Structure 1
């Protein structure tokens, strides 16, 4: 199994030697190289998490993700209805276009000198907010199960 991981990853990258990395990853599904690359990433990700968290006992930095996993249904429902942006859009200065969401996002875009990186930073802040909400629910012992 350990020999198959690097060999199939190398095979999938060699298969796309003529194409750039963007073309190698954004292509029609179910091609041979795409399946090899996805197979390796799906195998590598959980195993690296097990090695880091369980074997090396470095679980503290991943505590927020654990809380989100324990309250995944609640976080999904609240995030899908866009409760966070709707709540903070109510705070604005003189006109509704000057709301807290737009100001924060434009501030982050100015800081990062890029619209894409600023938007990514805003989304990561929103994810951090939901991690904190999930941590609060975990501390109170509130879990929603189906």
Structure 2
């Protein structure tokens, strides 16, 4: 109604709810390939963190849509269709594969699984923000990535925070 189109016109483009939600999610995450941040494989984890934090910041430019999409009670992977995923995760996977070849990250785990793990951490951070458990989405992304990269054990020289 607010867009000034009829229900029939709307359903000409979207035949079911999942198509509408998939479009909204694609608008947030984009459809185009995402370039990796500059730098070498030695800084792969830092560069991946920068990429995913920048993705969160970009999504927050449409805060209302981001909050709506991340509070939906359904998995976002289902919205994207079978086998589909946000292009940013393709970039993350490529970066992890390069880092694995260089011996920077684990080589005993496929880069597809490593990328899926980081994608779930990213999604959890955004859901935490959307549901009000944190006020700062990029900071939550950094925190959950730090947990993914370094685990929950105390490390020498790192006592708190990402």
Q: TM-score, normalised by structure 2?
A: 0.20
Bigger Rg over Cα: 1
- Which has more helix, going by share of residues? 1
Q: Looking at both structures, which has the greater relative contact order when contacts are Cα pairs under 8 Å and sequence separation is at least 6? A: 2
Q: TM-score, normalised by structure 1?
A: 0.22
